[in-house]
A and B are shown apart, each in its own frame.
Chain A
């Protein structure tokens, strides 16, 4: 059951990314091009996505547990630290340079050819670099 839900969510998410135009880097970079021929589509995508989720959080607050019995994840500790700020900034730079965030970058793998594969592999490389940094940090026992 959990796998069926997970597979369905992935499929609907992927089709939503495709239909909304988020797998087209020109739509994303058009949104970022405030000084050029600005394309507001991304605002409709984000707005459209937030609506059902705002409703889902209200339902989740009442039910406390998911259909499969798992607890609804609590709000994480709200620490605004250098990792959050710096990580978001690095992500913003990469996002603008290529026009891909992680979801569309994965969805486009099937038809994006070699360039999509290069971005995808580099993204996995960046994630491995993060894991390496984490290991390094735990070894030298720096405070979190």
Chain B
């Protein structure tokens, strides 16, 4: 904890957030591309992004490689992933299918779309936030599943 009353996690969140937005700005102003994690991966998975597959692949290389290097140097952070593999499998399918149907996720809609006041992105973000809150409430406080 710092000596200030502001929690360290909030400062780290803001710092990391500025980096996320900075990376999105770099990709937009540098390459004319919108940084959306689900779109970049999804285009590789189903071949719709085959005309710029190289750019997508090196983006994913940086996304996996840079944090991997940081973790290797500074130590492994806690990720608190559940050991319930069935739950992870169901959640993963929903995230993959849902973000492709909605054409965006937290990065594409939440960061890049919201910051240009795209109505679609604002609607999408409000829905996944709202459904996320509701799902977590039911899952933890009613069903006690996690």
Q: What residues make up the interface of A, taking CB atoms closer than 8 Å to B?
A: 2-3, 5-27, 29, 32-36, 39-57, 59-60, 63, 65-68, 70-73, 75-76, 78-80, 83-103, 105-116, 118-131, 134
Contact = CB atoms under 8 A, between A and B. Distances in A.
In this complex, which of B65, B109, B136 has the most chain A Cβ atoms within 10 angstroms of its Cβ? Answer: B136
Interface of B: 9-35, 37-38, 41-42, 45-48, 54-56, 58-68, 70-71, 76-83, 85, 87-103, 105-107, 109-112, 114-116, 118-120, 123-125, 127-137, 139-141, 146
A127 B36 CA distance: 14
Q: Interface of chain A, helix or strand or loop or mixed?
A: helix
B10 A10 contact: no
B18 A53 contact: no
B127 A89 contact: yes
Contact of B96 (A55, A75, A113, A124): A124
A77 to B, nearest CB: 9
Nearest to A40: B10
Q: Interface of chain B, helix or strand or loop or mixed?
A: helix
Nearest to A1: B30
Contacts of A130: 42, 46, 96-97, 100-101
A47 B65 CA distance: 25
B41 A106 contact: yes
Contacts of B10: 40-41, 44
B92 A98 contact: yes
A42 B21 CA distance: 14
B112 to A, nearest CB: 6
Given A41-B10, A52-B24, A47 B64 contact: no
A78 B23 CA distance: 25
Nearest to A55: B25
Nearest to B108: A102
Contacts of A99: 80-82
Given A16-B16, A16-B18, A24-B78, 4 more contacts: A13-B20, A90-B95, A122-B93, A124-B45
Contacts of B140: 33, 36
Contacts of B136: 29, 32-33, 96
Nearest to B89: A122
A90 B20 contact: no
Contacts of B54: 3
A124 B42 CA distance: 8
B55 to A, nearest CB: 4
